[in-house]
Structure 1
Amino acid sequence: MAKLYFKYGCMNSSKSANLLMIKYNYEEQGFRVVLLKPSLDDREGKSVIKSRIGIEAKCNLVNPESSIYNCYDADKTDVLMIDEAQFLTEKQVDELYNISFNIPVICFGLLTDFSQHLFEGSKRLIELAESIHEIKTVCQCGARANYNGRFDGEGNLITSGEQIVIGGNEKYKALCKKCYEGMRKQSLVKRRRQ
């Protein structure tokens, strides 16, 4: 059904794997699927969506200044799927909303950043998507993870700084509220002692 979908989850919740499995299912039924991802997602350094479990597919890159309309061929697309949708601009999400009148548009991404704030793309998707679904994952303690922790090279939780860091050496981990807050307090105490 033609509508705008947003499937979100914390780090390591298998968002890309879900996207690739849904793509496979559509293609098995004869649908022409086009994959997009923002160029800000430079983990792979190329035009590919890759899951940590080892599956991957080629995609088209979307630059922050690009129009979504210029990133795919509407006449040859039955389904449009976007990975890392949190990195989209508000204008690009508005374009996806308009595209979703004609074909299904399925977006996958993070909801909030390491400091518990919405990303621009995610905020607009929450405002416009007709279907919003959480892809759940667990914290290291076994509880449901709701937050994305960013850690420096020494394992300290980072709670301030740039929302998007390109080429940094930070590591990310999905955390529950209790673990996130406990690590935040430990990091504050450690900084005060230094």
Structure 2
Amino acid sequence: MAQLYFYYSAMNAGKSTALLQSAYNYQERGMQVALFTAAIDDRFGVGKISSRIGLSMDAQIFDADFNFVSHCKALLAQGTLDCVLIDEAQFLSKAQVRQLTDIVDELKVPVLAFGLRTDFLGETFSGSQALLAWADKLIELKTVCHCGRKANFVVRLDEQGQPATAGSQVQIGGNNQYVSMCRAHFKALVWRD
């Protein structure tokens, strides 16, 4: 039975690595997968899912206007589609997450979405919020804070290396701009009231 899975975490927990491993597992068994990544994040090339440990695969890009159902129906018309895998799922719109539920419920194809739960202020992204509400399975991937506790928040650093407490929700960056931290350390740096 097809289901919608949401694998979420702070940055640097291995989301892209887990996605690429899942894609490899399907492909190794002769199954067809569709990989998608956000057009907004082209740090490693357009249409490329890359992990920090050096693994990568080509993917179809999605933007705010992309229709997942239409694309998956076209893929099914050409043959089989055994799984849909989505990287950077936090950038999905609410409407696109609904489309993913249609792929699962109507097309009977499992969907595995991987993304951040919250932004640098501790607020959910719209895609993550919808996935947390509508996914059949929620799986937390864990990483650690510098203190050794579970890191479930992300701190954005400004140009001077100081924690940002305001700004646009979306700012593409990597380890040079973001640090995963436990709630206590996040609160001390970002929620300084």
Q: Is the pair's TM-score, using the shorter chain for normalization, greater than 0.5?
A: yes
The answer on 1:128 being equivalent to 2:134 is yes
Separation in structure 2 between the aligned mates of residue 66 and residue 158 of structure 1, nearest angstrom: 31
The answer on 1:79 being equivalent to 2:83 is yes
Contact 1:152 1:169 in 2 (8 A): no
Name the residue aligned to 1:45: 45
Q: How does 1:25-44 map to 2 (within 5 A)?
A: 25-44=25-44
TM-score (normalizing by structure 1): 0.90
The answer on 1:173 being equivalent to 2:179 is yes
Q: How does 1:11-160 map to 2 (within 5 A)?
A: 11-72=11-72, 73-75=75-77, 76-101=80-105, 102-160=108-166
Partner of 1:157, secondary structure, is coil
Amino acid at match of 2:87: D
Contact 1:4 1:129 in 2 (8 A): yes
Partner of 2:100, secondary structure, is helix
The alpha-carbon distance between structure 1 residues 17 and 167, as it changes in their structure 2 partners (threshold 3 A), is: closer
Contact 1:61 1:71 in 2 (8 A): no
Contact 1:38 1:64 in 2 (8 A): no
Aligned residues: 187
Q: Deviations over 1:4-44 (max 9, x none)?
A: 00000100000000000111111122210110012122222
Gaps of 5+ in 2: none
Q: Deviations over 1:129-151 (max 9, x none)?
A: 00000000000111100101100
Separation in structure 1 between the aligned mates of residue 175 and residue 167 of structure 2, nearest angstrom: 14
Q: CA deviation at 1:70?
A: 3.9
Q: CA deviation at 1:181?
A: 2.0
Contact 1:62 1:71 in 2 (8 A): no
- Identical columns (%): 40
TM-score (normalizing by structure 2): 0.90
Amino acid at match of 2:92: L
Amino acid at match of 2:76: A
Runs of 4+ in 1 over 6 A off after TM superposition: 167-170
Q: CA deviation at 1:168?
A: 10
The answer on 1:163 being equivalent to 2:165 is no
